[in-house]
């Protein structure tokens, strides 16, 4: 009943529509991965800032001897003020400083015996654990995004827009054993 | 915090995942958080007040065995409505790679999603046909947890990505109180000395050399002769006759092998011994058996491998002996049997130390994960169609 060319046109319109749906779905997925990387990065930055803040708080609390306070305060300050190139080294150094401080014999018991030492330890433990969690989640998101960016469709069509290829964040984040 | 937890398997069928979710949900509620669990359940099934049903699970062939899974339009609709009405801060999906409620929840939600991976297997279950479906659901998970190193390895090798390790907790309260087994006097918690008598206990695979039963049996050769009333209680899978055969004939009637025991009898066994011996020679990452014995308040004598040294706080919460040395084990066990005050002290210390491995500690770590991913506070929202 329809001329042949209308059937042909309808067919190709349908094909184009389906391709469009598929490409849009892939673009949505990629966009969601980029959002996940950004959210995870914000969470990681927040966790690192928090850990440095708790370390400074502990250093300034008069719960520690002055030498320990100095070690901790220096490492926390370095981590806070490091530029992008040195950030990973400075944060690793803070992890090591925290472990060295906490590994002193009877550290936890000594602090718990003093007034609000228990609360500070609790906060320190939470802050250090969250750095490790946040970094794992960030790197996980980065690797998913990088794999997606390598796919042929994403490279041929500019689906990634101008979003930069995210980089991993590699530090020593072993938490102190509290 | 408002937490929505997705359970993939039927609630009232016994299983590790269900038990994990129950313990976690109850610990979180204990902290004052609002928890809702959605799970497959039969309509007449009794659910705890915090759980809602997503409909019946249907037995289907999946991966070579019959699994009871919940899927289909009805379940998908219920999950979607539950997410919509729950207004959760965090969605926590268990075993998200199973074709059940977990994957439905991942499709239906946007926002902070935590996924916990329980299973470990050698061979990949992901085939090329299912990979894109699975990938697009799994890549929405913002924080992944593995309950064991094996589960984490499985995830890394078969699905890609990484996870943080938060092991299962020990429900310490479940072990705290029990009657000793029939015919066993129970712990000499009182003041009577066990000189000449008493009971040593062992629990673990009898035919697994790393569990160290052979070390304990050699120590019993000397101890049993020095102390004519001393008995040895052994529980765990393995060939009982093989184990008995390693003991000199004149000592055999004082060695009792229970073999595989029920959960209830296991707890009673912990309460039947004066000294619980963990002679493991290595390969333990944590030692769940040790944690259970500590929860029961059994005085512990363990080899000084790194994992035990850590759990027992360097000897404060249990006596340690040099790994593999049966003579040292015999001496240390003898000293403990002669010293009821020390046993009582170790028992109290063990109960205190094991709290670090209690579910409340695990729930605290899981909460830290929630707080890490929920930063920003937009919460979980229903996903657009086709996402």
Mode of pairing for the β-strands spanning B199-203 and B275-278: parallel
- In angstroms, the separation between the Cα of residue B357 and the nearest Cα of chain A is 13
Q: Strand pairing of B381-382 and B109-110?
A: antiparallel
Give B219-234 pLDDT, tens digit per residue: 999 988 888 888 899 9
- A66 is a domain residue: yes
The closest of A84, A116, A88, A120 to A101, measured between CA atoms, is: A120
Cα A162 to Cα A158: distance, rounded to the nearest angstrom: 8
CA distance B365 to B92: 14
Query: How are beta strands B319-321 and B58-62 bridged, if at all?
Result: unpaired
pLDDT of residue A92: 94
Q: How many CB pairs under 8 A join A and B?
A: 61
Q: Decide if pLDDT at B162 tops 80.
A: yes
Quickly count: other Cβ atoms within 10 Å of residue B263's Cβ. Answer: 8
Is residue A130 pLDDT above 90, yes or no? Answer: yes
Angle, alpha carbons B181-B329-B336 (nearest 5°) = 60
- For residue B82, give the nearest of B56, B98, B101 by alpha carbon: B101
**Residues β-bridged to residue B200:** B232, B275
A137 to B160: CB separation less than 8 angstroms, yes or no: no
Tell me if B139 and A134 make a contact (CB, 8 A cut-off): no
**Mean pLDDT, chain B, as a whole number?**
85
Please give the structure tokens belonging to residue B38: 């959605």
Over pLDDT 70: what percentage of chain B?
91
Domains detected in chain B = 2-169+360-381 (3.40.50.2000), 172-356 (3.40.50.2000)
DSSP per-residue string spanning B286-335: S-HHHHHHHHTT--EEEE--HHHHHHTGGGTSSEEE-TT-HHHHHHHHHH
CA distance B106 to chain A (A): 13
Of the candidates B136, B142, B376, which has its C-beta nearest A137's C-beta?
B142
CA distance B303 to B376: 47
- pLDDT at residue A77 tops 90: yes
Residue-wise over B96-134: b if at least 16 C-beta within 10 A, else e?
A: bbbbbbbbbbbbbbbbbbbbbbbbbeeeebeeeeeeeeb
Question: In angstroms, rounded to a whole number, what is the distance separating the alpha carbons of residues A31 and A33?
Answer: 5
Task: Give the per-residue pLDDT at A96.
Answer: 94
What distances in angstroms separate CA B155 from CA A138, B64, B144, one per listed residue? Answer: 17, 20, 10
Closest CA of chain B from A1, distance in Å: 35
The pLDDT tens digits of the residues spanning B265-275 come to 888 889 889 99
Q: How many domains does chain A have?
A: 1
Report if residue A39 sits inside a domain. yes
Q: A11 pLDDT exceeds 50?
A: yes
Task: Report pLDDT for B190.
Answer: 44
Q: Looking at CA atoms only, how far is residue A9 from chain B in angstroms?
A: 27
DSSP state letter for B211: G
Give tens-digit pLDDT for B272-310.
899 999 998 876 666 778 888 999 999 999 999 888 888
Of B148-152, B330-334, B354-358, highest mean pLDDT: B330-334
pLDDT confidence band for B65 (50 / 70 / 90) = low
- At residue B187, the pLDDT reads 67
Are B142 and A47 a contacting pair at CB < 8 A? no
Cβ–Cβ gap A133/B143 under 8 Å: yes
As a whole number of angstroms, the distance between CA B387 and CA B336 comes to: 64
Type and span of the H or E element at A4: helix A4-59
Buried b (16+ CB within 10 A) or exposed e, A153-164: ebeeeebbeebe
Helix axes A66-81, A4-59, angle to 10 degrees: 150
Dihedral of alpha carbons B282, B365, A54, B314, sign: negative
Task: Look at residue B386 in the predicted model and tell me its pLDDT.
Answer: 46
B111: contact with A, CB 8 A cutoff: no
Q: Give domain status of residue A136, yes or no.
A: yes
Burial per residue of A97-123, b for 16 or more beta-carbon CB atoms within 10 angstroms, e otherwise: bbeebbeeeebbeebeeeeebeebbeb
Residue A178 maps to a domain = no
> Which of B142, B311, B381 is the best mutation test for A, with the most CBs of A within 10 A?
B142
User: B381-382 and B319-321 as β-strands: parallel, antiparallel, unpaired?
Assistant: unpaired
A89 touches chain B (CB under 8 A): no
Look at residue B28 and tell me whether its pLDDT is greater than 60.
Answer: yes
Find out whether B40 and B70 touch, Cβ atoms under 8 Å.
Answer: yes
Binary contact (A133, B369; C-beta < 8 A) = yes
Rounded distance, CA A105 to CA B313, Å?
12
Taking the C-alpha atoms of residue A67 and residue A53, their distance in angstroms, rounded to an integer, is: 19
Residue A13: which pLDDT band, with cuts at 50, 70 and 90?
very high
- pTM score of the predicted model: 0.79
Range of the domain at A88: 4-156
Residue A169, in any domain of the structure: no
| Residue A145 within a domain | yes
For residue A168, being part of any structural domain is answered with: no
Q: Kindly report the CATH number assigned to the domain that includes residue A100.
A: 1.20.1440
B140 and A CB contact within 8 Å = yes
**pLDDT above 80 for B192:** no
pLDDT at B134: 82
| Candidate from A57-66, B183-192, B346-355 with smallest mean pLDDT | B183-192
B194 close to B338: Cβ distance less than 8 angstroms:
yes
- 3-state SS assignment for residue B113: strand
- Calculate the dihedral angle through the C-alpha atoms of B365, B367, B371, B372, rounding to the nearest 10 degrees: 30
């Amino acid at each position: 009943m329809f001329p042949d060319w209308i059937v042909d046109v309808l067919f190709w319109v349908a094909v184009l529509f389906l391709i469009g749906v598929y490409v849009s779905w892939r673009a949505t997925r990629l966009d969601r991965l980029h959002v996940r990387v950004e959210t995870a990065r914000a969470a990681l930055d927040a966790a690192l800032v928090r850990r440095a803040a708790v370390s400074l708080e502990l250093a300034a609390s008069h719960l520690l001897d002055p030498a320990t306070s100095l070690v901790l305060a220096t490492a926390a300050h370095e981590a806070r003020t490091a530029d992008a190139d040195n950030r990973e080294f400075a944060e690793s150094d803070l992890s090591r400083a925290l472990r060295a401080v906490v590994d002193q014999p009877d550290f936890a018991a000594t602090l718990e015996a003093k007034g609000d030492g228990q609360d500070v330890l609790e906060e320190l433990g939470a802050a250090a654990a969250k750095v490790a969690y946040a970094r794992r989640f960030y790197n996980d998101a980065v690797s998913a995004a990088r794999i997606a960016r390598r796919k042929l469709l994403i490279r041929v069509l500019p689906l990634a827009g101008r979003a930069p290829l995210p980089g991993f964040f590699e530090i020593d984040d072993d938490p102190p054993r509290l | 915090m408002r937490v929505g937890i997705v359970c993939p398997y039927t609630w009232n069928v016994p299983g590790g995942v269900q038990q994990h979710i129950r313990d976690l949900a109850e610990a979180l509620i204990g902290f004052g958080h609002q928890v809702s669990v959605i799970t497959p359940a039969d309509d007449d099934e009794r659910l705890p007040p915090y759980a809602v049903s997503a409909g019946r699970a249907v037995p289907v062939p999946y991966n070579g065995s019959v699994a009871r899974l919940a899927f289909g339009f009805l379940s998908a609709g219920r999950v979607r409505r539950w997410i919509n009405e729950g207004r959760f801060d965090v969605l926590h999906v268990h075993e998200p790679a199973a074709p059940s409620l977990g994957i439905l929840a991942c499709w239906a939600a946007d926002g902070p999603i935590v996924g916990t991976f329980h299973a470990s297997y050698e061979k990949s279950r992901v085939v090329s046909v299912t990979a894109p479906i699975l990938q697009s659901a799994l890549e929405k998970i913002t924080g992944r947890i593995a309950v064991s190193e094996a589960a984490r390895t499985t995830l890394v090798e078969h699905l890609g990505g990484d996870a943080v390790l938060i092991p299962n907790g020990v429900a310490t309260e479940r072990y705290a109180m029990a009657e000793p087994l029939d015919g066993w006097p129970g712990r000499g918690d009182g003041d009577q000395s066990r000189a000449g008598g008493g009971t040593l206990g062992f629990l673990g695979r009898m035919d697994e050399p790393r569990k160290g039963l052979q070390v304990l049996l050699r120590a019993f050769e000397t101890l049993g002769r020095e102390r004519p009333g001393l008995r040895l209680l052994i529980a765990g899978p393995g060939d009982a006759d093989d184990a008995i055969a390693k003991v000199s004939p004149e000592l055999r009637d004082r060695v009792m092998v229970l073999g595989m025991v029920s959960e209830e009898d296991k707890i009673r066994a912990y309460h039947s011994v004066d000294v619980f011996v963990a002679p493991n020679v290595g390969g333990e990452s944590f030692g769940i058996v040790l944690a259970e014995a500590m929860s029961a308040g059994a005085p512990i004598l363990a080899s000084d491998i790194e994992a035990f040294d850590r759990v027992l706080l360097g000897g404060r919460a249990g006596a340690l002996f040099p790994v593999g040395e049966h003579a040292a084990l015999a001496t240390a066990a003898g000293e403990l049997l002669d010293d009821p005050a020390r046993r009582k002290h170790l028992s109290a210390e063990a109960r205190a130390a094991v709290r670090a491995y209690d579910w409340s500690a695990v729930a605290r770590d899981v909460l830290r994960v929630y707080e890490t991913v929920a930063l920003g506070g937009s919460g979980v929202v229903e996903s657009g169609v086709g996402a």
